[in-house]
Chains A and B, each alone.
Chain A
């Protein structure tokens, strides 16, 4: 049973007295891993699916994350960071898998989306209720891998722009600009529209 200890419903095993994985016996560590899988497999799969857009790839990435955690358990020093650690492994697995199938198809090329924005569309026209998991999948499929990573960190992990900058090794100001452009493209793909503030 996944404990609903966070506002977003995500499991957080560190909050309920989880046994430290590197300090206990083998049985303790095995139990800790199994518990990690039970509590986080769904969340990791969803995250991986949002990155890859593919069920098979998402399952592969999820499995790779848990195998990596098993293999590097002794390196875990701060259990409070295990969730972020697993997300980071998932991102790395995803990007590595994508590099193997390069070159990037021409259809993936990041065109300047502002060229195609309907100048008449405003925030009043946004059909927010029409956004759902399916339409999001289609929209994300049209974005760069790196753009999807940034959006997943923002929307799924709820990482701040500073946390994203630290995780990706990019200056915070650059992340802020790229994140804004990425969100603009996503909005455009989901509901149309143009820059909310920068249109004047």
Chain B
């Protein structure tokens, strides 16, 4: 194999506790090692390290009470979900040896008690299930993440972090801008991508790569959270370092512009949408 990078990739794909090198797809790597003692020595060192790393992956002390906590945590859930026996298991099990006319009154009395107990058991289960469901609903209402108001400080901090992150992203993280996909954009950005926000939404990030090497990022998102912002022109959110931030609402979408250019943000003082 003439390509050392490809050789490295193939050998790195071999698991430390398996003989993956014997697989047909690694025949090239196998041959390369066979004819090169130095490479074989390096591969052996690689395997030793992989085994040590694999061991270290498992060197995590487990909290002593974890098992009890896990059992306790699922107990109510299990009680509510798993106690619902399949229907055929709820049918009274009648002993064929005492069924029919030959059954005694004792047997009938016993059957009645058993039947009462079986009727009571599902009732208890229903009560337990209902109580569990009510508890879960209550817990859900308390802990379910509800949209909270987004402060301008939140927005400013997040957008500057996102802009700095965007500058350092590899080129293949971006998509080429397609004007037909975003007809509402007044200017043509160089590229775009999607990004998760901490506000429970996904936003579009448009990179207006500026000629002087600076960037202006426009982030558009639909969020449920309340945020006190005007429509255009933007409200400046200040910022630290080189980044200036402006944000506004338009057409139900939150827009944030972030730039490290000293004056580019002013471009967004004019109505953003094409008229």
Q: Which residues of A come within 8 Å of B, CB atoms? A: 7-8, 25-26, 29-30, 33-34, 37-38, 41-42, 45-46, 49-50, 55, 59, 62-63, 66-67, 70-71, 73, 99-106, 109, 111, 123-124, 126, 128-129, 131-133, 135-136, 152, 154-156, 158, 160-161, 176-177, 179-180, 183-184, 186-187, 190-191, 195-200
Contact = CB atoms under 8 A, between A and B. Distances in A.
Nearest to A7: B17
19 contacts: A26-B89, A30-B78, A33-B78, A42-B66, A45-B62, A46-B58, A46-B60, A49-B60, A103-B165, A103-B195, A123-B46, A126-B45, A126-B49, A128-B49, A133-B56, A133-B60, A158-B17, A176-B9, A183-B50
5 nearest CB pairs, A to B: A133-B59, A180-B12, A46-B60, A180-B9, A123-B45
A30 B42 CA distance: 51
Interface of B: 4-5, 7-13, 15-18, 20, 39, 41-43, 45-46, 48-50, 52-54, 56-60, 62-63, 66-67, 69-71, 73-74, 77-78, 81-86, 89, 145, 158, 161-162, 164-165, 168, 195-198, 200
A29 B49 CA distance: 42
A140 to B, nearest CB: 9
Candidate in B9, B59, B67, B168 with the most chain A CB atoms within 10 angstroms: B9
Contacts of B82: 26, 29-30, 33, 70, 73
B110 to A, nearest CB: 22
A118 B16 CA distance: 25
Contacts of B43: 196
